[in-house]
A and B are shown apart, each in its own frame.
Chain A
């Protein structure tokens, strides 16, 4: 029986906090005591026309939240709970939901349609609620059905399509849904609301329409209706129709050709003259076509079978008409667009699309854009000047360096002088264009920047970094890429040495600016500083970077003194500490690369460590990710000396390892354990019991993000290698975990690339763990691994035969085979004789282009050979 919960639902929305809390706890109690009746009561509330809309709305939301959650573990729990509910109660709930679709209250209808989709997402995959689609469709085919019910029904169909996997619906159900939806779009028969719901439902149903799109007649029909809908009189409907076209371009690129002329006219008209929201979708259509063609080109690159993939070169064919349409949009800027880097308007979408066009067609775009640039860049109104600069900046990626270099060379002086333009829009886009030039075209061997123009470039950048925050931020970007051009350039990076002091000073004072408090400029300044440090020529600049280290440590010390009143203050402090720890990390990595500069880090190691520990100490609940990363870098640098910090640091390390909610922190902490093992070798032993027990707990934690698990396995290998035979006591725990994971990895179904990659990472982690253990035991306890050798060879063979195996797994597997032969020696003679896949596997490795892999394979071959002849 449903319970009366209206009062509780209303009270839970009361402005009086006490009332609210009491009501919430009542509801929670009810939920915990009797979930089925709680759900039933909520559905009854939602369906009841006598109840106030507010309580109905909350009932619907609570119902929805009892069926679905963002967190996948929680979602799984909720699914299990729902499945366990008594079937008669479930069918009462579902009946109530379907009834609600006919409600005159639009809020209730809309909530009900969402809840229906959530139930469907659980049940249809389990082959339950098979009559749902039929019942919904019945609403559409009955003549007397009121428009409101049709609208709610279409909405439900759309949501159901969004929630359910295409493989779970029968083709005749899909056909019926599509028919209903397409009929709902009929302008003559239906009003605005029904048609809007229909086109939105179609958007969600497109994924299901694979078969229908293969059938020319059905496809023609669907496309005709969508194209007609794209010129409906209501802008919301036109917008939704273009959203469908965007989706079609992405899912069904291969069948677009017959419609392209029509689609071009539709989109060009919309971009030129329709309302902004519609025009944006029309631009998005072309951006999507570019995405598809770029992907096709990347796929074909390097293979001769360019014809095996359908590549229609729509962008190239439309280029002469498309580019002018896009250029027009660049002139439609908004006054305040530079204040937010998430700005999305005609000009931004047009420039973004133009950039994709350039990447798609390369050189061909240049002669179509340059006349626009030349005609507008010298005009005095900011719109023309900005649009011309934006156009130029947008096409820098894609065309060849040969094509672009002369123009950039000729234009660079002009761009530099435009950094003094009265319009901040012009300065913003000019600075961005400079950073694109440096990012894409500048390299030590290139001709864009040389001794003749570098002084002027530096003068302009160091002046403009004092401009308004949005311009200063772009200037930081320009310095970032200017420095990056000298990365790994050896002595060429000393070209920057004369400017290094001024660059560092300018970036430090930029980070200090009062108007940098928006934080974006501050973080741009520090991140640019990182790149400048990475690219500074060491050892010649050792002293300067050493001074910078002291300045950064001083600043980090100052963050501890910040006045913390609100949570905002706390966040600001934490962000600043993150940026400063980031700089320290980069300095550490940069200086430890050379013998001359290494002492600078070692001298400051104590002070750095004290700072990191203070950063940890000022955040009670969580561990600071950036400080953890910096400590990893420091541990590698100090080597065995790190042992003296361990007693203090250990508790934070443990806290980081236990932080499964913030999985990135956990993952980085796992990495730091590896750094520490390599730094301290067997001196890490006293901490291993603690570390191992947390790691083992993490592995059995169902909530921990799966991406952390492979690194934990690799980390076992690090520990075993560091402590050698002392790893023995963990073997009874670790080996079953490894075997379980190996088993799991052969059972997971690789339906998508993410899963494929995960399986590869998992296997790599497993092999690395075994390698570390085998090597660690080699001299003393190798026999402990003898019982597992057979399993290991079987697993390796299974991995060898897996088509989805990537190079990382191959390397780790081959190396492990060698370690196995090396550690266990003649004991394995029979095993290696009987299982012959290793010869084939090694043969494959010898064909690889990867020197390291071939080298490892040769070594492994030697090890196995030694066993075979023993």
Chain B
């Protein structure tokens, strides 16, 4: 019996062997992992890039900006790949995540036009984290980069279950607070959905998207085998009197920890931003005053600052603000090193506000902070804490600000009419 002609495969003979397939799969995986590994290095670099070392206006920039626009919906930023970032290790991961979360400043002044440009909602008490779902897993990471949970969920590609609506590698990122008592993730912002980046979208759009998209997935369903934790959206209000009232004293299914204010027009901006604000008092939070490392409220205000090589103690701001310094002797004596986070106590009587700038005066070293602490306090926090002890911003102040806004609106409106 003659064999078939050279290039002719008999139809009943299998087209490829599984061994060949295994070989090809292995090669493909290796290639993918190589590009992952190399991209990991690149993404880190690009998150450094996004920290603002880049001058905003330069002739070259404009010319190249056009090219980038030509690429369609692709936005200018690429420092966003938490899937790869999720595989980072050690201190790099902490730095990466610290740069990705939007960190509200503490409200020390009431911003103007609160009722027109802002949202408000009661902040759930719990752990702030980034939740990333991709490739069949959901991972939540705390602000310091450590993993809180790794679990299956109904988020897109959040579990190894049927999801035909997009590639398994496309990821979604939610900004959440994990609320221990009912083991629920309260979603306070949406950063990325099915690979579509919402970084450059306004809060208004992000909240709209969050509310319409999350409900499509069943992420708010009660926990089940492939959905370990429930995701709930937080009710968000326009920051008018009614909204503020509802947020402040309304019933919510979770333990409140202050109020969050979001500027409607602000993009999701990594790092500290004055376009998101946190405010609290004793009515809407159990934790108005900071506790020390033992969980007690100290008699004197304590502040966590980072030691710089010139002995200055700085806040976690960009750029950092120096609030005091330690002497070389004291540094040597206490075995401190540059970069250490130190807890210092403030003598109330020595604090001064000079030209709106805080001068803490004499600082008393309390000690080093424990390891889980990753960042120093921000300037606005120090200020808020100081105010909370002496002349707090009260809910009445907020109400009054809104009321004056609305009356101003009226007067402006009539002004226009008169001129016309």
B10 x A343 contact (CB < 8 A):
yes
Known contacts A342-B10, A352-B10, A721-B41; is-contact A862 B46 (Cβ 8 Å): yes
Interface segment among A204-212, A451-459, A671-679: the answer is A671-679
Q: In the bound complex, what is the Cα–Cα distance between A717 and B35 (angstroms)? A: 11
Nearest chain B CB to A9 CB, angstrom units: 33
Of chain A, the residue at the smallest CB distance from B41 is A775
Question: How many positions in chain A have a CB within 8 Å of any CB in the partner chain?
Answer: 86
Secondary structure class of chain A's binding surface, majority of residues: helix
Given A394-B11, A717-B34, A775-B41, A594 and B137 touching (CB < 8 A)?
yes
On whether the beta carbons of B163 and A432 are closer than 8 Å, the reply is no
The distance in angstroms between the C-alpha atoms of A315 and B264, with both chains bound, is 65
**Bound Cα distance A589, B160 (Å):** 15
For A521-561 the 0/1 string (1 means CB < 8 A from B) is 00000010011000001111000000000000000000000
Interface assignment of A741: CB less than 8 Å from any CB of chain B: no
A846 touches B163 (CB 8 A): no
CA distance A540 to B159 in the complex (A): 12
- Contacts A593-B136, A854-B71, A865-B54: A859 and B46 contacting too (C-beta < 8 A)? yes
Tell me if B337 counts as interface (CB < 8 A to partner A): no
A window 219-247: CB within 8 A of B: 246
Q: How far is the CB of B64 from chain A (nearest CB, A)?
A: 6
Q: Determine if B38 and A815 form an interchain contact, defined as CB atoms under 8 angstroms apart.
A: yes
Indicate whether A834 reaches chain B with its CB closer than 8 angstroms. Answer: no
CB within 8 A of B26: which of A668, A858, A862?
Answer: A668
Contacts of B37 in A (CB 8 A): 678, 718, 721
Partner of B2, one of A344, A589, A664: A344
Residue among B49, B76, B226 making CB contact with A863, cutoff 8 Å? B49
Selecting from A104-112, A304-312, A486-494, A607-615, the interface stretch reads A486-494
Residue of A nearest to B58 (CB): A869
Residues of chain A in range 659-675 having any CB-CB distance to chain B below 8 Å: 664, 668, 671, 674-675
Bound form: Cα–Cα A531–B19 in Å: 11
Tell which of B10, B58, B60, B70 has the most Cβ of chain A within 10 Å: B10
Q: Which of B68, B160, B168, B226 has the most CB of A within 10 A?
A: B160
A818 beta carbon closer than 8 Å to chain B = yes
Q: Which residues on B sit within 8 Å (CB–CB) of A444?
A: 162
* A-side contacts of B61, CB under 8 Å: 865, 869
Given the known inter-chain contacts A344-B2, A718-B34, A822-B45, please indicate yes or no for A855 contacting B74, CB distance below 8 A: yes
CB distance from B1 to the nearest CB of A (A): 7
A126 CB to nearest B CB, Å: 29
Q: How far is the CB of A695 from chain B (nearest CB, A)?
A: 15
**Is B213 part of the binding interface, using a Cβ–Cβ cutoff of 8 Å?**
no
Q: Annotate B153-175 by CB proximity to A: 1 below 8 A, 0 otherwise.
A: 00000001111100010000000
Q: Which of A539, A626, A678, A854 contacts B33 (CB 8 A)?
A: A678
Inter-chain CA distance A548–B304, complex, in Å, is: 54
Q: How distant is the Cα of A818 from the Cα of B11 in the complex, in angstroms? A: 48
Query: From residue 787 to 830 of chain A, which have CB atoms closer than 8 A to chain B?
Result: 811, 815, 818-819, 822
Instruction: Say whether B14 contacts A585, CB under 8 Å.
Output: no
| Residues of A close to B225: CB separation below 8 A | 540
B49 near A866 with CB under 8 A, answer yes
B13, B37, B137, most chain A CB atoms within 10 A: B37
Check A861 for interface membership: any CB of B closer than 8 A.
Answer: yes
Q: A284 to B74, Cβ gap below 8 A?
A: no
Which B residues are in CB contact (< 8 Å) with A842? 67
Whether the Cβ atoms of A865 and B160 lie closer than 8 Å is no
How many B residues have CB within 8 A of the partner chain?
A: 61
* Contact present for A351 and B71 (CB under 8 Å): no
Chain B residues whose CB sits within 8 angstroms of the CB of A490 once the complex forms = 136, 160-164
CB distance from B375 to the nearest CB of A (A): 23
Asked whether A348 and B70 contact (CB < 8 A) given A280-B2, A718-B34, A775-B41, the answer is no
Please state if A858 and B74 are interface contacts (CB–CB under 8 Å): yes
- Tell me if B356 counts as interface (CB < 8 A to partner A): no
Q: Determine if B26 and A671 form an interchain contact, defined as CB atoms under 8 angstroms apart.
A: yes
By the criterion CB–CB under 8 Å, are B34 and A348 in contact? no
Given the known inter-chain contacts A344-B1, A675-B33, A862-B49, please indicate yes or no for A629 contacting B26, CB distance below 8 A. Answer: yes
In whole Å, how far is B278's beta carbon from the nearest beta carbon of chain A? 32
A265 to B391, CA, bound (A): 105
A17: CB under 8 A from chain B?
A: no
Residue A148 CB within 8 A of the other chain: no
A113 to B299, CA, bound (A): 108
B55 in contact (CB, < 8 A): yes
Chain A 126-155 interface 0/1 with B at a Cβ cutoff of 8 Å (1 = within): 000000000000000000000000000000
A633 within 8 Å of B (CB atoms): yes
**Which of B22, B29, B70 gathers most chain A CB within 10 Å?**
B22
A87 to B115, CA, bound (A): 101
B161 near A491 (CB under 8 angstroms)? Answer: yes
Residues of A within 8 A of B78 (CB): 855, 858-859, 862
Q: B71: which A residues are within 8 A, CB to CB? A: 846-847, 854, 857-858
**By the criterion CB–CB under 8 Å, are B19 and A717 in contact?**
no
For the complex, give the distance between the alpha carbons of A636 and B31 in Å: 13
Partner pick for A284 among B8, B42, B150, CB 8 A cutoff: B8
User: In whole angstroms, what is the CA distance A280 to B8 when docked?
Assistant: 12
- Considering the complex, which residues of chain A in the window 551-595 have a beta carbon less than 8 Å from any beta carbon of chain B? 578, 582, 585-586, 589, 593-595
Q: How far is the CB of B168 from chain A (nearest CB, A)?
A: 7
Interface string of B220-231 (1 = CB under 8 A from A): 000001100000
Q: Shortest distance in angstroms between B178's beta carbon and chain A's nearest beta carbon?
A: 18
B338 to chain A, nearest CB (A): 19
Q: How far is the CB of B170 from chain A (nearest CB, A)?
A: 9
Cβ distance B22 to chain A, nearest Cβ, rounded Å: 6
Given A491-B162, A818-B42, A859-B42, do A629 and B22 touch, yes or no (CB 8 Å)?
yes
Known contacts A341-B12, A490-B160; A721/B38 CB under 8 A: yes
Question: Is the C-beta of B366 less than 8 angstroms from some C-beta in chain A?
Answer: no
- Inter-chain CA distance A343–B12, complex, in Å, is 9
Which chain A residue has the least Cβ–Cβ distance from B37? A678
Which one, A345, A352, A717, A866, contacts B54 given CB within 8 A? Answer: A866
Residue B4 interfacial (CB < 8 Å): yes
Are B26 and A633 neighbours in the complex by a CB distance under 8 Å? yes
A671: B residues at CB distance < 8 A:
26-27, 30
**In the complex the two chains form, what is the Cα distance from A277 to B225 in whole Å?**
63
Proximity bits, A640-671, B CB within 8 Å = 1, else 0: 00000000000000000000000010001001
Q: Is A846 in contact with B74, judged by CB distance below 8 angstroms?
A: yes
Taken together as a complex, chains A and B put the C-alpha atoms of A593 and B169 apart, in Å, by 12
Q: Does B17 contact A (CB under 8 A)?
A: yes
What's the least CB distance linking B335 to chain A, in Å? 28
* A16 CB to nearest chain B CB (Å): 35
Q: Which of B12, B17, B19 contacts A348 (CB 8 A)?
A: B12
Q: Can you list 20 A-B contacts (CB < 8 A)?
A: A280-B2, A352-B8, A429-B12, A444-B162, A527-B19, A582-B19, A632-B30, A674-B30, A675-B33, A714-B34, A819-B42, A839-B67, A846-B70, A846-B74, A854-B74, A856-B39, A865-B60, A869-B54, A869-B58, A869-B61
Chain A residues within CB distance 8 Å of chain B: 246, 277, 280, 284, 287, 341-345, 348-349, 351-352, 355, 394, 429, 432, 444-445, 477, 480, 488-492, 527, 530-531, 537-540, 578, 582, 585-586, 589, 593-595, 626, 629, 632-633, 636, 664, 668, 671, 674-675, 678, 714, 717-718, 721, 768, 771-772, 775, 778, 811, 815, 818-819, 822, 839, 842-843, 846-847, 851, 854-859, 861-863, 865-866, 868-869
Q: Which residues of B contact A (CB under 8 A)?
A: 1-5, 8-14, 17-19, 22-23, 25-27, 29-30, 33-35, 37-39, 41-42, 45-46, 49, 53-55, 58, 60-61, 64, 67-68, 70-71, 74, 76, 78, 135-137, 150-151, 160-164, 168, 195, 225-226
Q: A349-B4, A843-B70, A854-B71 are in contact. List 10 more A-B contacts (CB 8 A).
A: A343-B1, A491-B226, A539-B160, A589-B25, A593-B160, A818-B42, A819-B38, A866-B49, A866-B54, A868-B60
Nearest 10 A-B pairs (CB), nearest first? A527-B18, A490-B162, A846-B71, A491-B161, A491-B162, A344-B4, A775-B41, A352-B11, A869-B58, A355-B11
